[in-house]
Structure 1
Amino acid sequence: MTSTTRLTVAQALVRFLTAQYAERDGVRHRLIGATWGIFGHGNVAGIGQALVEYARDMPYHQGRNEQAMVHAAVGYARQSGRLSTHAVTTSIGPGATNLVTGAALATVNHLPVLLLPGDVFATRPADPVLQQLRVPYAGDASVNDCLRPVSKYFDRITRPEALIPSALEAVRVLTDPVETGAVTLALPQDVQAEAYDWPDRFFAERVWVVRRPGADPTELAEAVTAIRTARRPLVIAGGGVHHSRAEQALAEFAGSTGIPVASTQAGKGSLPHDHRQDVGGIGHTGTATADELARTADLVIGIGTRYTDFTTASGTLFERPDVRFLNLNIAPHDGHKLAGMPLIADARSGLEELTEALLMHAHRVADSYVAEYTEDKERWEQRVEACFEADEPDVRPTQPQVLGALDAVVDESDIVVNAAGSLPGDLHKLWRARSVDQYHLEYGYSCMGYEIPAAIGVQLAAPHRPVWALVGDGTYLMNPTELVTAVQEGIAIKVVIVQNHGYASIGGLSEAVGGERFGTAYRFRADDGTFTGAPLPVDLAANAASLGMRVLRAKTVRDLRAALTEARAADTPTCVYVETETADTVSGAPPAQAWWDVPVAETAARPSAVKARELYERHVSTRRRHL
């Protein structure tokens, strides 16, 4: 006879989650490390009560914004190598729909997070109930259906017994290296509180092995031949290198073959900046060294990359008529990108197999090729030094000088978190990644408001390391509320607020495409009705202080260096506030080294748009379809 335990659906789900583990390379990790929650009528009596019931087994974090809770969970998951994540619970209605942006970010970036939004009554005792979206043609629809397109798995638990297969499928997806992303279990508030006799085996400890599939022998042989016959190969390291923990395998592959390695935003740090084969970021926000190598490459070896438009310069970067692509990727969809030769495998397993096979042939690129990119890299480093250097320490810094000051105080233990604005471009070009996980850029979704909550999640996963959230004023104003969470729980993140009085990145882009910076500055209206008056008297430092943060104001380069040093040593949440010199420009960093397709008005009366269109047509004419 099967033994059972009578619990509510919510209690059973929480207890089930406490017994789930992910294992890779023989190392076991608890899959759901904690649950974030904001409670309302849709989850307070169900999941809320269950979290009280199992408080000793399931840690709980109190959030202030539902979207931010997802970002914190995602930050934790990425820092944990996707082997552990957090769950997020909300009420129905606006609490649930606030999850959508965070869910999209998680799914775009292939990062696991479990979403547990409340839902309207399954028994429909009244119609409509509070916060129910009435859809006359579909009685089973709710606002949670907004989460379907941004989730890798979605289910609505309308009966207690339905939880068993759904929970198992949810965990399967969370631990699948190809399918992982946001997983949503919508929980009607009446079903959450309903009791059921659960088989005790449902709560038994369960280990989900994260696979490392090797390459198909035929694909591997073709890949080895392609590399051996290439004269100017180039590796593009994507986020899959980090997800697979393949950094050492990549270093051995690059070191033994001499093939240079460029990196996407997600892949930066796959090699340390001072590795001989590291040539920096690639694409629209990349280095001149990497982009010139891409233009002349005859073989592009993509490792764990999705080949986004920034990476490929919207299809214009890889110029050689005979260029070929070899794509090592665990996801077949990405392995076949750009009509490339697929090498479908785990990044680490595939790299180890490639290295072994190439060593048998003693394969290495020509010394002249190594000398070429080494010299180009040295020239780029000189440009970085020039951007970081401040001749006058008692003046307001530029944004690159802010990064230079931070570069001077960090070591390999620090982690830098960013996602949106002009900072991602500057960081991709200029930042010197010292460790495999120092560079935490969310650029798949480039979500404003990600940085602060994500830094909290990273800090929870790496409690003894300095974690920096770099935010512009636009991003800060989007989502500063989780500073209260950091203060409440004593999570000693370091937040650097860069004040440049507006959407600097989009302002620069607007100017380039004929938009004349319309609607991008944080200024009063002038007499002509435009936002070209004086800067707004907004004091973000005072705002951060009002939320409980310790705040250090830096007016000059000298002040900034001292403030960053003090913040790094702090054991409480600390904010460094600095206003940059280039308030009306993007940043002062080197310009884009490759194009990015932002369509320009095909017809316009204003000269700026007409000129921008002429330039656009010259660039778009160089786009290629790789076949």
Structure 2
Amino acid sequence: MTCAELLIRLLRDTHGVDTVFGIPGVHTVALYRGLEEGGLRHVTPRHEQGAGFMADGYARATGRPGVCFIITGPGMTNIATAMGQALADSVPMLVISSVNRRDTLGRGQGRLHELPSQQQLLAGLARFSHTLLDPAALAETLARAFAIFQGERPGPVHIEIPIDLFDAPVVLTELPPPVRLFRPAPDPEGLALAAEWLHAAERPLVLLGGGCVEAPQAACTLVERLDAPTVTTINAKGVLGRDHRLDLGANAALPAVRKLAREADVILAVGTELGETDYDVVFDDGFELRGRLIRIDIDAQQLVRNQPVSLGLVGDAGRSLALLAERFPVPLARDGAERTATTLAALGLEDDPAFAPFVPLYAALREALPEAILVGDSTVPVYAGNHLVSQPEPRRYFNASTGYGTLGYGLPAALGAQLGQPDLPVVALVGDGGVMFTLSELATAVEENLPVVILLWHNLGYEEIRRFMDANGVERVGVDLRAPDFQQVVAGFGCASRRIETPEELARALASRPASAPYLIEIDAAAWQKAIAMPQT
């Protein structure tokens, strides 16, 4: 078989890949020979950035790596932003690209799609970037990628294949079998010390990050046995289930939770970066931990970033949570639920002027689509949802306001989530500014008959940046944008849509959504906020 044919078989049979996102190009035609017969579904976005965001959404919704086939040069620079978001949020993504012939690499001959070094360009956005020079090494190189996805902190991996190797013959008697990797458990001595500190704690606090999404039962068991208030970050929403009595949500940047954190005598942080976009979204470096900090992470380097650590344990979050819970066979009683309830009451989220307009929005979504995956862009309703939303399971709420913080993520990532979880409803939460980055992916949604609900918050530009300009005494420039008539635009794609102004209209629109096609609901932000402020009759 050829190298390209071997790639398809390894992805499908050895590594269990079922979906590939990509745009065919002259340099990748060989990859498409026999692709349909190979049993892999190919989804064609309208831009390589969209391919990366779709792969990201697919991975977050399923827990399986999202895979992309990308053309040399401009294809790779286009997908770079999506790789940056995936790297920041530890999302497993495999990017297979072409590159120019081996005998031309680095020679600057002005060949089609040529870059001085495509591999070097992408190396900073990937867990590793590799140029395949021998077809016989393909199986091992792919195995390395999936070893990262399964055995350590995940993220994007880039493998580029010179175009003269796609049709190169490969002699292989049989495909290598899949390898099952077990992640490491933390050192027993360290676990014992962590348990000792947690037993003695009077005011414990637990911080759970996105690294815990594969172990909701273990996480729930541990925090209940510790009877400890628990912050669940944006990427950890649903780890404790919906409205758990110990869940403080993703509210670590708000004053009442910060007070609780300062007063905690022992803090257990598992699978979390303790990064700015989870703990300091007001950007004042005000999240302070004064007690003993125990950190558990698969990445040893992460243990010493952002906050002074008292005890660091390298290990898988799920195994660590389960092993630690075993050391507390009798649940402790330290008024955890009362402390959590008091703190949430002090936050007053539903009455906060920044969040109140979105309480009925998320109430309508919860009523109509209680099991939905909510996928967000960087937009005002998402910023509020980060604080307001509680989900029944992990992997049902994620967005681009964390980490890299790109715009244009919401729509294509929601499509990827829908492809990965076809039996669950999916809602894309986007703004009129950000959606313009990737609005073309609506064509993909229509083509693939994906029943994604797209909630478009139309506030005439970049509201968050307007606020920052106003707060810093900067004259507004470049933020008050003229948007198209979205109703006409989406009709041109063949997508149904509706413009609404009130929560009651939103409920009716959600009830009438199509069963097998995308549906855009445009919310007039000014009219909505006026309706919320007026007494409902």
TM-score > 0.5, shorter chain as reference: yes
In 2, the alpha carbon distance for the partners of 1:96 and 1:355 equals: 44
**Mapping of 1:93-242 within 5 angstroms?**
93-124=73-104, 127-133=109-115, 141-178=116-153, 180-193=154-167, 195-201=168-174, 203-204=175-176, 206-242=177-213
- Give TM-score scaled by structure 1 length: 0.78
Cα offset, 1:72, TM superposition: 0.9
Evaluate the alpha carbon distance shift between residue 68 and residue 230 of structure 1 in structure 2; reply closer, same or farther with a 3 A threshold.
Answer: same
Residue 349 in structure 1 maps to residue 323 in structure 2: no
The answer as to whether partners of 2:457 and 2:524 remain within 8 angstroms in 1 is yes
Give the distance between the partners of 2:444 and 2:493, measured in 1 at CA: 9
- Map 1:249-398 onto structure 2 (within 5 A): 249-284=218-253, 287-313=254-280, 316-319=285-288, 322-337=290-305, 338-340=307-309, 341-359=311-329, 363-365=332-334, 367=335, 370-378=337-345, 380=347, 383=350, 398=357
TM-score in terms of structure 2 length: 0.90
Letter aligned with residue 510 of structure 1: M
Q: Displacement of 1:276 after TM fit?
A: 0.8
Task: Please name the residue that 1:472 is paired with.
Answer: 431
Which residue in the other structure is 1:461 paired with?
420
Q: Distance in 1 between matches of 2:40 and 2:212?
A: 31
Match of 1:19 among 2, 13, 23: 13
- The counterpart of 1:33, out of the listed 2, 9, 18, is 18
CA distance in 2, matches of 1:335, 1:208: 28
Write the letter of the residue equivalent to 2:378.
A
Write the letter of the residue equivalent to 1:157. Answer: L
Letter in 2 for 1:47: L
Q: CA deviation at 1:463?
A: 0.7
* Residues 1:61 and 2:43 aligned together: yes
Does the 8 A contact of 1:97 with 1:144 survive in 2?
A: no
* Contact 1:388–1:401 (8 Å) recurs in 2: no
Alignment partner of 1:570 is 2:528: no
Equivalent AA in structure 1 for residue 81 of structure 2: T
> CA RMSD of the aligned region, Å?
2.7
**1:323–1:518 distance in 2 versus 1, CA, 3 Å:** farther
Kept in 2: contact 1:330–1:345 (CA 8 A)? yes
Deviates more, 1:454-463 or 1:289-298: 289-298
Give the structure 2 partner of residue 519 of structure 1: 478
SS of residue paired to 2:405: coil
Which one-letter code corresponds to 1:124 in the other structure?
A: T
CA distance in 2 between counterparts of 1:512 and 1:305 reads 31
Question: Would the aligned equivalents of 2:207 and 2:230 in 1 still touch at CA under 8 Å?
Answer: yes
- Measured in 2, the distance between the counterparts of 1:79 and 1:258 equals 29
Q: Is the 8 Å Cα contact of residues 237 and 393 (structure 2) preserved in structure 1?
A: no
CA distance in 2 between counterparts of 1:150 and 1:583 reads 40
What is the identity percentage for the equivalent residue pairs of Structure 1 and Structure 2? 26
Given that residues 242 and 392 in structure 2 are in contact (C-alpha distance below 8 angstroms), is that contact kept between their aligned partners in structure 1?
Answer: yes
CA contact (8 A) 1:273 1:280 kept: no
Query: 1:152: Cα distance to partner?
Result: 1.0
Partner amino acid for 1:548? Answer: G
Residue 470 (structure 1) shift: 0.4
Q: Is the counterpart of residue 541 in structure 1 residue 521 in structure 2?
A: no
Letter matched to residue 501 of structure 2: K
Instruction: After TM superposition, give the deviation of residue 476 of structure 1 in Å.
Output: 0.6
Partner of 2:452: 493
Q: 1:137-170: CA deviations, max 9, x gaps?
A: xxxx433532111011211123433434323323
In the alignment, is the contact (CA less than 8 A) between 2:499 and 2:524 conserved in 1? no
8 Å CA contact 1:91–1:118 kept in 2: the answer is yes
The SS at the match of 2:466 is: helix
The letter for the 1-side match of 2:328 is L
Q: CA separation of 1:437/1:385 partners in 2, compared to 1, >3 Å: closer, same or farther?
A: farther
Report the CA distance shift for 1:348/1:489 in structure 2 as closer, same or farther (over 3 A): same
Instruction: Find 2:52's aligned residue among 70, 77, 99.
Output: 70
SS at match of 1:343: strand
Deviation at 1:385, TM superposition (A): 9.5
2:383 aligns to what? 425
Q: Does the 8 Å contact 1:175/1:208 carry over to 2?
A: no
* Equivalent-residue separation in structure 1 for 2:49 and 2:424 (angstroms): 25
Query: Structure 1: how far apart are the matches of 2:127 and 2:34?
Result: 25
Measured in 1, the distance between the counterparts of 2:240 and 2:511 equals 26
Rounded to whole Å, the distance in 1 between the matches of 2:417 and 2:138 is 30
Give the conservation status (yes or no) of the 8 Å contact 1:494–1:576.
yes
Mark the runs of 5 or more structure 1 residues left unpaired by the alignment: 1-6, 22-29, 134-140, 390-397, 523-535, 589-627
Q: Could you tell me how far apart the structure 2 residues matched to 1:155 and 1:238 are?
A: 30
Tell me the secondary structure at the aligned position of residue 295 of structure 2: strand
TM-aligned CA deviation for residue 336 of structure 1:
3.3
Q: Deviations over 1:111-141 (max 9, x none)?
A: 11111122112233993322223xxxxxxx4
Please tell me whether the aligned partners of residues 123 and 190 of structure 1 are also in contact (alpha carbons under 8 angstroms): no
**Residues 327-377 of structure 1 deviation map (CA, whole Å, 9 limit, x = unaligned):** 1222212233423111222222212222221235x5332x3x642332332
Give the conservation status (yes or no) of the 8 Å contact 1:90–1:118: yes
Distance 2:349 2:61 in 1: 31
Secondary structure in 1 matching 2:169:
strand
> Given that residues 201 and 266 in structure 2 are in contact (C-alpha distance below 8 angstroms), is that contact kept between their aligned partners in structure 1?
yes
Distance in 1 (CA, whole Å) between partners of 2:142 and 2:391 is 39
TM-fit CA distance, 1:576: 0.8
| Equivalent in the alignment of 1:507 | 466
The amino acid that maps onto 1:240 is G
Shift of 1:492: 1.0
Offset, 1:483: 1.3
Match for residue 609 of structure 1? Answer: none
- SS of the equivalent of 2:520 reads strand
Q: Does the 8 Å contact 2:209/2:273 carry over to 1?
A: yes
Inter-partner Cα distance in structure 1 for 2:279 and 2:411: 29
> Is the 1:501–1:521 Cα contact (8 Å) retained in structure 2?
yes
